[in-house]
């Protein structure tokens, strides 16, 4: 909770003077929080604190977005989907099998996240949304099948 919920909130709060100074109607300042698809849809792993913290980031993001847009500060979140990592061993170790259930037929890589965060349009005017990087219905169907033992 400290890393995924408190830190983004307090960091944004601490940077408000700089964000306000940099913001304009034509060029809003941007805050992009990194949530997770697991904050939107459950997955078969029993990492309860991770789910809670990532879903717990989404709602403060929406609240900050609703408040800070008045100051031309756009607050949004990205919600990466299947991502090859130590935590997501299925995506790391069984990428080909998991990718069959994702419309793009690929597992996200570190470079995908970097591009999304560095893209000047990643959060240009959308405030309070959690942009999932993998279509959620496809991933949910795969997760539900896995939970059911299929």
CA–centroid distance for 123 within its chain: 12
Token duo for residue 130: 């959690």
Kind and range of the H or E element at 91? helix 89-93
- Give whole-number Cα distances, 68 to 10, 64, 93, 111, in Å: 14, 6, 41, 29
Give bridge partners of residue 33 from the DSSP assignment. Answer: 77
Active site (annotated) includes residue 50: yes
Q: φ and ψ at 77, to 5 degrees? A: -140, 150
Contact (Cβ atoms closer than 8 angstroms) between residue 90 and residue 99: no
Which of 50, 56, 122, 135 is an active site residue?
Answer: 50
Token duo for residue 81: 């989907």
DSSP annotation of 149: T
Q: Return the active site residues.
A: 50
């Amino acid at each position: 909770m400290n890393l995924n919920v408190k830190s983004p909130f307090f960091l944004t709060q601490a940077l408000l003077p700089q964000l306000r100074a940099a913001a304009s109607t034509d060029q809003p300042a941007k805050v992009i929080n990194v949530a997770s698809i697991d904050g939107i849809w459950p997955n078969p792993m029993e990492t309860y604190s991770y789910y809670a913290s990532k879903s717990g980031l989404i709602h403060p993001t929406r609240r900050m977005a609703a408040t800070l847009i008045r100051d031309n500060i756009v607050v949004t979140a990205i919600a990466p989907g299947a991502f090859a990592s130590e935590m997501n061993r299925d995506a790391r170790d069984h990428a080909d099998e998991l990718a069959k259930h994702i419309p793009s037929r690929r597992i996200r890589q570190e470079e995908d996240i970097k591009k999304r965060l560095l893209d000047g349009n990643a959060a240009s005017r959308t405030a309070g949304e959690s942009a999932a990087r993998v279509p959620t219905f496809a991933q949910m169907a795969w997760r539900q099948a896995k939970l059911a033992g299929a």
